[in-house]
Amino acid sequence: MSDKPFIITISHQLGAGGAYMGNKLSKQLGIPFIDRDVLKQVADQLQLSETDLEKRDERLSSFWESFTRYGEIF
């Protein structure tokens, strides 16, 4: 394993066994397994529902995206 930190993400559909595989992989690699618990913790800290948090975009808007979005208002 590398000394540099890393994250493995597994995208899956409900019932496809992604959480099971992620848990097994984390044990094999000796790294923490973090599931939806993180989403719940963040939602609690921000005082939002998990559903509201899931609906938010996964990335920050670029300057130009923000500029064009607000430019449409004026």
pLDDT values of the chain reduced to their tens digit, one per residue, 74 residues = 557 777 788 877 778 888 889 899 999 998 888 887 777 888 888 888 888 877 775 555 666 666 666 655 44
Range of the domain at 52: 18-71
Report how far residue 9's alpha carbon sits from residue 3's, in angstroms, rounded to the nearest whole number.
Answer: 19
Report how far residue 6's alpha carbon sits from residue 13's, in angstroms, rounded to the nearest whole number.
Answer: 23
| Amino acid code (one letter) for 46 | L
Which positions ≥6 away from 35 have C-beta within 8 Å?
A: 19, 22, 23
Residue at 33 is within a domain: yes
Q: Closest Cα partner for 36 from 51, 57, 56? A: 51
pTM of the model as a whole: 0.49
Q: Into how many domains does the chain fold?
A: 1
Residue at 66 is within a domain: yes
Residue at 52 is within a domain: yes
User: What is residue 74's predicted lDDT score, i.e. its pLDDT?
Assistant: 45
User: What is residue 55's predicted lDDT score, i.e. its pLDDT?
Assistant: 73
Residue at 41 is within a domain: yes
Residue 15, phi then psi, degrees to nearest 5: 85, 0
Residue at 22 is within a domain: yes
